[in-house]
Amino acid sequence: MQNDVIMAGFGGQGVLLIGKMLAYAGMREGKEVSWLPSYGPEMRGGTANCTVVISDRPVGSPVVQHPRAVLALNLPSLDKFESSVKPGGVLLINSSLINRDSQRDDITVVKVPANEIANELSNSRGANMVALGAYLGATHAVSLAVVEGVVRETFAAKPKLVDVNLEALHRGYELGEQVARKGEPR
């Protein structure tokens, strides 16, 4: 089984971080993984995306033309990657920053108010963790418990960030799982 996702947003939204965390979780589960970042020269505000592939078999290429999932944290990312999702795949939309619906009816769409949830948790920079949780809840690409361990390790030097990021991850997971349970394309 192979799970692949393109995670995309503005630089500074933590897209590359959650992609790397997902890849580490896949490795901890003994899977074959690849993480391919792509970003512009700008430090913040430019575009950033990464492709993560998690598989039971060796990964032939880190480049994925038609991923099973796309996680779009901003409108330019949705515009760029929406059409690439495989039919039957999953499209996660950060409804806090994206003011349009998906144009497709052959995929499962998960609308996640990631920024709003992060702000409710007093963690304005945690929208990426909410989105990662929603992806996990919708796809079960890797175990939530393994990702929790990666979060703890990633933020070990800043202990105050561990619990708030875990809470953001769990809130997103619940939303993603609710939509996945319904199991119907949009």
Say which CATH number the domain at 77 has.
Answer: 3.40.920.10
Which residue range is the domain that position 76 belongs to? Answer: 2-182
* Amino acid 186: pLDDT: 47
Query: pTM of this prediction?
Result: 0.93
Domains held by the chain: number: 1
pLDDT digits (tens, 9 = 90+) for 79-91: 999 999 999 999 9
Q: Is there a contact between 176 and 134 (Cβ–Cβ < 8 Å)?
A: yes
> Mean pLDDT over residues 41-60, rounded?
84
User: Does 62 score more than 60 pLDDT?
Assistant: yes
pLDDT digits (tens, 9 = 90+) for 106-163: 999 999 999 999 999 999 999 999 999 999 999 999 999 999 999 999 999 999 999 9
